Chain A
């Protein structure tokens, strides 16, 4: 009996590596600590009713953001481990298979479990407030999207300590990712973690398209909507068209591994090249999915802190939509060297270059928003300005890579790595940081400490350049990506050491940010007034911070672009609001129709987790239990007709009064 348990445990848990053992112990201790704290402070009910079953977009947004910061930590540690290995490969700090697992999980986590949830978090926090709505179109679905992401992320993360991590790269090319090349469970954790989370992403895409198209406050025409909401719309449309491709591709790989199908195997007529095509038909739009909202954030931040209207609104909207459209026609530039031939390569090289045009146009529009403005540089604006040179260089190297015949020398080298990190960090991360700092007071009612923010900013920026500029050089020196070691004679070590120093500088920056958050909470300086930066232009700044759970006591009547700014301008000039606007502001309060909380999303996602775990280990009983549970919870949802309630006028009055008091 004991022997069976021991044998099972040695297969079940990852063994043989002190670092992983340390992680396993820490995770167990952390879980125990969390359970203990919740029980001791009797907070289980609070956790369940206030957070785990909420359908409030503001809270869902916060949960997404918390998860993404935790994932940033894990992805960052992965990066530091890799950089230690590469600074001194002779020491063999990491065994080859461990290194390979780490770069795989680093990529998946950073893109799918850090950037995506941070993005959805910002969508949730901002969009309904910006467009004058009380929630997203489908609040229940919104909650389900979060919990599906959580279940998928948990499944993926647990592979580190149970069963084994995937190690075939973040996109898992076959034949390496087939059973023949990856017989372990890691690849199956990969498939199910991403698949389950991907369903949540797709649902969010649909949710935000409907929200933006159908729930804007009266008077807010599409071409007067804030730029961030436009960027969310373009990103969400892209999600709708791209994610089904990922769903199918992962499913086909699963069938290969689980049922012996031959989609991408080398035998049985399979075609591994098709996987590359399919996965990149999703993969390229995916990177535009994450960058477009960052562009939207920059538009908001730059306009606000220039005290000026965004320059070229129509041009900016056109640029967003055309980038989204063209992103579907560039995928083959990820495998110019696969031998598709000159016709194919020429076509995709040109389409890739074309995307640089609307992107460049946006940079000029941001610069000319600042031109003849009155610039101030609180933390969000610092990030926005730093983004410009960083992203322009990244875009430049992207154009260099798009020159197909030259790419034969760049492909899969450190030049490529430097490029995509530059656009992802300099574009996406810088942008989301700017958004996080900018809307933080709207979420919580207090700003993050400026001084510590500046320390974090400088360490991130300097660290970034020190880490990645040498990597362009390493690429030109012939260093291939995903090498866990190299010969000292190549002369690569000095630049690798420099790069590692840069990585640690970014690690220090992250610590500053953690300190910044802790410090700001400790020395709370609340400002509940709502217009936390004093120069807000859009509707979200017209309500208290944090916003009441119903957002707007009265549905606002919007006059045009930058409506809140215009309202303030009218007040300054002593002008009255237009009649219908004034009437809307003073209309008698009416009960507000709100959705009830629901435990189904978290429970259904738990069943999805079970199903995925069952598929990974091929435990049929768990698969049946998991999928069965999913069906039952779906039916429970269908049969539930009691999912809404009304906020009474008295409660609205009380909430508004308390908020007004807090603002003084």
Chain B
């Protein structure tokens, strides 16, 4: 009876399967299309390695012990029923995890500051700002500099830092594009800043990542990363051919329900700010006056492009 051994082999086969199939593009988190996601993937691999260094010997020791010390009539294994202490062993198995965790802690703290979403990404290209509003159950994107708006999809130029400003019409959601980097919560009453950058053209999957009710699962969107020329051409085209996003449209978006992909040549002034602050009284600063979360200066510390 070697339950641990059997389980170990099942585990290894499953793990192998995953690792081998991880080369596939479907593993969005392991297929970074930008420096943030790439750094996060590195972190994931480092962490897995450090943990495996401890975990795999544990599996091996378990299998060996369970096999060797099972009670049999002609067992040659030693039996020490009262042996219950060894300073040497205790030192080893307190010491090794402490060292491993210490290493991991240093790496983690370092990357926590480097990958802080509010910190700008260093690049020779000028950043583009996109305001993101999560509503029930669709995404509204407004471009303050270009003046266009889209629903459930956005375009952005490649190799350009994107400064997302995130807010919510009501429920707390989360904005996630796995290929480009980690998510950030969207909350009414405040504008969260998330910096991402795509270094490869393509269409990337995005979704809401914090449950907001009935049709939450249908809040997926596409991040369409194109060349700068294509992006500029698109902006001009939208501005000339599409209709404007009116106040009535905004009211309709606020109503519960899903929405089709759409693009608009303009949007009401300050629509992002208005939605963000709609529940905040005059004189208040936001949902928690005086306790805004850290929103580092764009000029402060910088990311490095990998």
Contacts and interface: CB of A to CB of B under 8 A. Distances in A.
Chain A in direct contact with chain B (Cβ < 8 angstroms) = yes
Interface of A: 96-97, 100, 167-169, 173-176, 180-181, 265-274, 306-313, 315, 335, 337-346, 349-350, 353-354, 356-357, 360-361, 363-364, 367-377, 382, 385-386, 388-390, 392-393, 396, 399-400, 402-413, 457, 461-462, 465, 469, 472-473, 475-478, 480-487, 490-491
Interface stretch (B144-152, B205-213, B238-246, B261-269): B205-213
Interface stretch (B101-109, B120-128, B154-162, B223-231): B101-109
A484 B217 contact: yes
Interface in B109-140: 109, 111-118
Given A374-B71, A392-B59, A400 B114 contact: no
A400 to B, nearest CB: 5
A399 B217 contact: no
A406 B188 contact: no
Interface residues of B, number: 106
A271 B287 contact: yes
Contacts of B185: 335, 337-339
B174 A412 contact: yes
Given A180-B170, A372-B83, A476-B28, A342 B51 contact: no
B172 to A, nearest CB: 6
Given A413-B209, A480-B176, 20 more contacts: A96-B217, A100-B211, A176-B211, A266-B189, A307-B71, A307-B81, A339-B192, A346-B113, A349-B109, A364-B58, A372-B77, A375-B70, A399-B104, A408-B40, A409-B44, A412-B210, A462-B10, A465-B11, A478-B176, A481-B211
Which 9 A/B pairs are nearest by Cβ-Cβ distance?
A408-B182, A341-B294, A267-B279, A478-B28, A483-B217, A405-B115, A364-B93, A478-B178, A396-B51
Contacts of A413: 209
Interface in B22-67: 22, 26-30, 37, 39-40, 43-44, 47-48, 51-52, 54-55, 58-59, 61-62, 65-66
A350 B242 CA distance: 51
**Majority SS at the chain A contact face:** helix
Given A307-B81, A368-B89, A409-B40, A469 B14 contact: yes
B288 interface: yes
Given A341-B116, A408-B184, A480-B207, A367 B61 contact: yes
A226 B236 CA distance: 76
A608 B114 CA distance: 52
Contact of A411 (B104, B109, B183, B289): B183
Contacts of A477: 26-29
Contact of A269 (B30, B218, B289): B289
A385 B15 CA distance: 20
17 contacts: A96-B214, A173-B210, A180-B170, A268-B279, A312-B85, A342-B116, A357-B97, A372-B77, A377-B1, A393-B11, A403-B43, A403-B111, A404-B108, A406-B40, A408-B117, A476-B22, A482-B217
Interface in B72-114: 75, 77-86, 89-90, 93-94, 97-98, 101, 104-105, 107-109, 111-114
Contacts of A343: 294
Nearest to A398: B51
Interface string B183-216: 1110111001000000000000101111111111
Contacts of B216: 100, 482-483
Interface of B: 1, 3-4, 7-8, 10-11, 14-15, 18, 21-22, 26-30, 37, 39-40, 43-44, 47-48, 51-52, 54-55, 58-59, 61-62, 65-66, 69-71, 75, 77-86, 89-90, 93-94, 97-98, 101, 104-105, 107-109, 111-118, 170-172, 174, 176, 178, 181-185, 187-189, 192, 205, 207-218, 220, 279-281, 284, 287-289, 293-294
B8 A476 contact: no
B172 A349 contact: no
Contacts of A369: 84
Contacts of A389: 4, 7-8, 11, 58-59, 62
Contacts of A367: 58, 61-62, 65
A411 B40 CA distance: 13
A472 B18 contact: yes
B116 A476 contact: no
B86 to A, nearest CB: 8
